[in-house]
């Protein structure tokens, strides 16, 4: 075993890192333990001088307007494509019709918390995100269930939990530990919480789904209808992997709100590992469990929760696991320490020891002074009674505020409780053999019950796993360091976990979680052999609902899912002859183009001559702003039309300039994008702009100006010497058309920070709303003239 040592102090870690950076190049020769990327990456600026690029620091350098990125950014950053974020279910239908009739596939996306290219569209596909589908319906009876709620797919767990709490309801213990995951995505991948009382997988609580197919129409499937007429299809839909259409709405079973008493507990590692029923005995008295085994410290600690009839200790009692009371400087330094520890086993064990010490000295059960994510902990406890949802789910905002964001490699799968003891003893032998320490969160165990009403989720009842049998979700998490090639990733991050996962799938009834793991896991022969029967049934569901593979991807095909008519002309099948017509050449077929004879998108003008300042003072009036543009480069645009560029990449190929705009390297430039915007309904429309500016000074304003003009009046302005007007709103009548201009100016003579522009809008009905929706191409008509709409 590793000799346990006292953890390094922060000062010692900094000195150690400095010594490696300056005097130990040998480590960097075989492992990038001293990579500067650990310091520079994640600040929102792509720093070429620090060696950052879209591959090694996608969170800063990849184009978020065209590239979907996983929560674990280095694990999965998708190739560029169109990303749509419809604002309602009806707009979702229109978006899907527009995409499919134009001959492109659809990839549904939520919060992209998954860790593989399961999140990516096919090579000829577009992404449609559920971000703005956030309506929550009333609590009501449905079919045989007295308490249910219908939610749109983009609703996040913590949003639903707090909403239900205000009404006196809960959706039980089948809630993810991290609250920032969308309900639609969680159901699609079989995400779960942790409970020994019943199924803790959210899919088990689905009683109805509204699914938008490739034809843009909605079909409702429910437990009492589809569940009776086609049970296998119903099971498939409840863990649909995004392959059976776009799930727009879901209806979930509920129960009255209840209180949870949660305690921090510990168990002796020897009995936990070596007793014939060590794991089962440890958690037997718990209704809810989150267990962390830190093998380098021989430490097993867990949160044990039980339903309680006692009053809450505080209405603001909550679980803040993995957010210890550390200083900001310690939090900021964590990526550097972990980067170095990736190549230094002793330091890795020191950090693990610090993690355990923090857990003990800064307990995760807290009372805050209010229920908002900004609330600070006023006291910490080893036992608390609180409202159920706050005791089992971490608020996403708190987690990000207290923890640095970095990529992790996560392996996870579920197996029956009857096999976990042998698995733990195997793990112990590997951990001891390799002196393994796990400085992030140790080996995680969460618990579940098998459900014969599911087909593809990790907890589904299957051969060797009886319905309602206790199960364990076993998870391994390792820091994914910066600057690694494939060989380095395997040597310094995946070892010994690749070996472990192969052993588990070969020797136990282990089913990988679809939202975790590495891509190779799902193609492992033992995994494909184990899920062959279920895949066959699922492929029958695909043949019924998506025979042409409109929702298929490279990942789905690689993992053994298939559509019988993949590769055939799905656009013509669903939309007829008009699918082959695009009268105005804007990339949208005449079937669904709102203006089939007028270019949908924007008309862009760009200039990089004589831009001597990024100040908004050069565009105080319409005439002054207009005078800034000559005829350097101008054209209607669709790819890149929703301008959200970074790093002065106005010459990027995705903008499809004709003729090609040269990558001259000039850093001072301005762009104007003009369009007509037509209101679908009467009411309040709000428009916003954001370019990352925190103020109006040259530095806080990024020496850049970004504006939104509505009918030649400034509706939003941020940046250097700006009015710092984040958004404003106007009342429009049904079918009223306005002129919309998106103006952006950047001068980089004094600052090295890069430029971003995020224009947004929203429809608020009778009142104001928060403008956070992208401008969809099919909503706009590109205009080259300077006049107002007539």
* Mean of pLDDT over the chain: 89
Mean pLDDT, to the nearest integer, of 274-301? 97
Closest among 213, 135, 205, 151 to 183, alpha carbons compared:
151
Question: Tell me, what's the pLDDT at 395?
Answer: 86
pLDDT at residue 326, as a whole number: 66
What average pLDDT does the segment 660-667 reach? 51
Cis amide prior to 659 (ω within 30 degrees): yes
Q: pLDDT tens digits for 237-281?
A: 999 999 999 999 999 999 999 999 999 999 999 999 999 999 999
pLDDT, tens only, 339-394: 999 999 999 999 999 999 989 999 999 999 998 877 889 999 999 999 999 999 98
Q: What is the pLDDT of residue 26?
A: 40
Sort residue 112 into left (φ over 0), alpha (ψ -120 to 50) or beta: left
pLDDT at 2: 33
CA torsion 373-376-381-385 (nearest 10°) is -40
* Residue 525 confidence (pLDDT) above 50: yes
Residues 450, 455, 458, 461: what is their CA dihedral angle, to the nearest 10 degrees?
Answer: 30
Least confident range from 7-16, 243-252, 695-704: namely: 7-16
DSSP state of 347: H
Q: What is the mean pLDDT of residues 406-417?
A: 93
pLDDT of 8: 39
d(CA 309, CA 159): 25
Low-confidence winner among 10-14, 420-424, 641-645 (lowest mean pLDDT)? 10-14
- 574/458 Cα distance (integer angstroms): 34
How many helices and strands in the chain, by DSSP H and E? 24, 31
Residue length of the chain = 790
Question: For residue 626, how many C-alpha atoms fall within 13 Å in the half-sphere facing its CB?
Answer: 11
Positive/negative CA dihedral, 344, 350, 351, 353: positive
767-787 per-position pLDDT tens digit: 999 998 888 888 899 999 999
> 444: which 2 tokens?
């995680």
The proportion of the chain whose per-residue pLDDT surpasses 90, expressed as a percent, equals 71
pLDDT digits (tens, 9 = 90+) for 210-241: 999 999 999 999 999 999 999 999 999 999 99
Report pLDDT for 328: 66
Which residue is it, tokens 């030649």?
Answer: 712
CA atoms within 13 A on the CB side of 412: 28
Hey, which residues does 84 pair with through a beta bridge? 128
SS3 534: helix
Q: Is the preceding omega at residue 496 within 30 degrees of 0, hence cis?
A: yes
**pLDDT for 665 beyond 60:** no
Mean pLDDT throughout 112-130? Answer: 95
Judged against a pLDDT cut of 70, whether residue 309 lies above it is answered with: yes
- As a whole number, mean pLDDT of residues 35-40 equals 86
Burial class (CB in 10 A: 0-12, 13-18, 19+), 109: buried
pLDDT band at 25 (very low <50, low <70, confident <90, very high): very low
Tell me the pTM: 0.89
Phi and psi torsions of 113, nearest 5°: -80, -5
DSSP string, 139-203: EEEETTEEEEEEEETT-BHHHHHHHHHHHTEE-TT---SBTTSBHHHHHHHT-B---SSS--BGG
Most confident of 54-63, 494-503, 580-589, 603-612: 494-503
pLDDT of residue 500 exceeding 90: yes
Q: What is the largest CA-CA distance in the chain?
A: 81
pLDDT band at 790 (very low <50, low <70, confident <90, very high): confident
For the chain, give the percent of residues with pLDDT over 70. Answer: 90
Q: Which two tokens stand for residue 133?
A: 């589908």
- The dihedral formed by the CA atoms of 762, 766, 769 and 774, expressed in degrees to the nearest 10: 0
Contacts of 588 (CB under 8 A, 6+ apart): 98, 102, 582, 600, 638, 777, 778
pLDDT band at 21 (very low <50, low <70, confident <90, very high): very low
In a 3-state reduction of DSSP, which class is residue 338? helix
Angle at 709 between CA 703 and CA 713, to 5 degrees: 110
For 591, other C-beta atoms within 10 Å of its C-beta total 22
Residue 34 is predicted with a pLDDT of 84
Give the pLDDT of residue 228. 98
199 vs 698, residue with greater confidence: 199
- C-alpha 337/C-alpha 327 separation (Å) is 15
pLDDT at res. 371 = 85
Identify the residue with better confidence: 703 or 675: 675
Q: Which two tokens stand for residue 662?
A: 């040269």
Measured CA distances, 167 to 74, 119, 162, 315, 387 (Å): 40, 34, 9, 15, 13
φ, ψ for residue 39, nearest 5 deg: -90, -45
The tokens describing 196, both together, are: 């020994």
What integer pLDDT is reported at residue 13 of this predicted model? 39
Distance CA 444, CA 576 (A): 52
pLDDT confidence band for 640 (50 / 70 / 90):
very low
Beta bridge partners of 178: 394
Q: Where residue 659 falls among pLDDT bands split at 50, 70, 90?
A: very low
The answer to whether residues 178 and 396 touch, using CB atoms and an 8 Å cutoff, is: yes
Q: Is the CB of residue 614 less than 8 Å from the CB of residue 750?
A: no
Please give the residue that has the higher pLDDT: either 457 or 640. 457
> Who wins on pLDDT, 350 or 74?
350
Question: Residue range 103-108: average pLDDT?
Answer: 98
pLDDT at res. 122: 98
* Structure-token pair, residue 102: 């134009």
C-beta of residue 384 within 8 angstroms of C-beta of residue 313: yes
């Amino acid at each position: 075993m590793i000799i346990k040592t006292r953890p390094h102090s922060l000062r010692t870690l900094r000195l150690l890192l400095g010594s490696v950076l300056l005097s130990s190049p040998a480590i960097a020769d075989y492992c990038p333990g001293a990579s500067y990327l650990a310091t520079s990456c994640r600040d929102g600026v792509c720093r070429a001088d620090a060696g950052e690029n879209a591959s090694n620091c996608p969170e800063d350098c990849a184009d978020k307007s065209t590239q979907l990125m996983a929560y674990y950014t280095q694990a999965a950053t998708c190739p560029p494509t169109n990303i749509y974020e419809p604002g309602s279910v009806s707009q979702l239908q229109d978006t899907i019709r527009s995409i499919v009739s134009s001959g492109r596939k659809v990839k549904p996306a939520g919060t992209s918390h998954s860790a593989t290219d399961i999140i990516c569209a096919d090579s000829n596909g577009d992404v449609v995100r559920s971000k703005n589908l956030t309506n929550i319906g009333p609590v009501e009876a449905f079919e045989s269930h007295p308490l249910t709620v219908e939610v749109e797919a983009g609703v996040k767990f913590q949003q639903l939990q707090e909403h239900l709490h205000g009404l006196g309801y809960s959706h039980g213990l089948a809630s993810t530990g991290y609250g920032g995951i969308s309900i639609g995505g969680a159901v699609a991948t079989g995400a779960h919480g942790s409970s020994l009382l019943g199924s803790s997988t959210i899919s088990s609580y689905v009683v109805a789904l509204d699914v938008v197919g490739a034809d843009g129409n909605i079909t409702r499937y429910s437990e009492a209808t589809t569940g009776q007429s086609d049970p296998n299809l119903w099971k498939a839909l409840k863990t649909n992997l995004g392959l059976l259409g776009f799930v727009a709405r879901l209806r979930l079973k509920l129960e009255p709100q209840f209180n949870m008493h949660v305690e921090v507990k510990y168990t002796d590692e020897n009995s936990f590992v070596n007793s014939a029923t060590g794991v089962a005995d440890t958690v037997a008295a718990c209704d809810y469990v989150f267990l962390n085994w830190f093998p380098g410290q021989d430490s097993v600690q867990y949160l044990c929760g039980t339903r309680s009839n006692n009053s809450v200790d505080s209405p603001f009692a909550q679980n803040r696991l993995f957010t210890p009371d550390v200083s900001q400087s310690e939090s900021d330094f964590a990526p550097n320490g972990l980067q170095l520890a990736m190549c230094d086993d002793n330091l890795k064990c020191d950090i693990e020891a610090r993690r355990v010490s923090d857990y003990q000295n800064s307990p995760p059960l807290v009372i805050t002074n209010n229920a908002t994510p900004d609330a600070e902990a006023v006291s910490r406890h080893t036992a608390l009674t609180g409202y159920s949802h706050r005791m089992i789910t971490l608020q996403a905002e708190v987690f990000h505020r207290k923890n640095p964001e970095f990529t992790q490699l996560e392996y996870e799968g579920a197996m029956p409780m009857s096999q976990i003891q042998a698995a733990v003893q195997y793990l112990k032998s590997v951990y001891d053999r390799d002196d393994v320490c796990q400085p992030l969160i140790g080996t995680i165990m969460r618990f579940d019950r098998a459900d014969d009403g599911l087909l593809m989720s990790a907890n589904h009842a299957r051969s060797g796993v009886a319905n309602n049998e206790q199960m364990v979700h076993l998870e391994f998490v390792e820091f994914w360091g910066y600057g690694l090639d494939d060989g380095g990733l395997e040597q310094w991050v995946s070892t010994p976990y690749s070996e472990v996962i192969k052993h588990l799938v070969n020797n136990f009834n282990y089913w990988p979680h679809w939202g975790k793991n590495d891509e190779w896991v799902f193609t492992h022969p033992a995994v494909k052999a184990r899920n062959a029967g279920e895949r066959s049934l699922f492929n029958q569901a695909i043949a019924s609902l998506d025979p042409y593979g409109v929702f298929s991807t490279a990942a789905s095909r690689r993992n053994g899912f298939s559509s019988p008519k993949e590769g055939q002309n799905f656009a013509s099948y669903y939309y007829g002859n008009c699918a082959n017509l695009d009268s105005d050449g804007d990339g949208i077929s005449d079937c669904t183009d709102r203006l089939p004879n007028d270019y949908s998108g924007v008309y862009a003008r760009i200039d990089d001559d004589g831009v001597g300042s990024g100040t908004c003072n050069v565009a105080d009036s319409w005439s002054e702003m207009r005078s800034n543009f000559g005829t350097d480069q101008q054209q209607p645009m669709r790819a890149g039309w929703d301008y959200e560029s970074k790093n002065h990449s106005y010459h990027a190929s995705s903008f499809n300039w004709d003729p090609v705009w040269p990558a001259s390297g000039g850093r001072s430039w301005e762009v104007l994008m003009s369009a007509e915007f037509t209101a679908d309904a009467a009411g309040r429309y709000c428009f916003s702009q954001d370019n990352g500016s925190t103020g109006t000074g040259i530095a806080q304003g990024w020496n850049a100006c970004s504006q939104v003009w509505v009918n030649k009046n400034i509706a939003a302005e941020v940046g250097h010497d700006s009015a710092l007007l984040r958004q404003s709103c106007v009342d429009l009548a049904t079918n009223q058309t306005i002129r919309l201009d998106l103006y952006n100016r950047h001068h980089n003579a004094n600052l090295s920070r890069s430029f971003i522009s995020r224009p947004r809008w929203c429809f608020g009905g009778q009142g104001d709303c928060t403008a956070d929706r992208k401008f969809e191409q099919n909503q706009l008509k590109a205009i080259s003239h300077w006049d107002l709409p007539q």
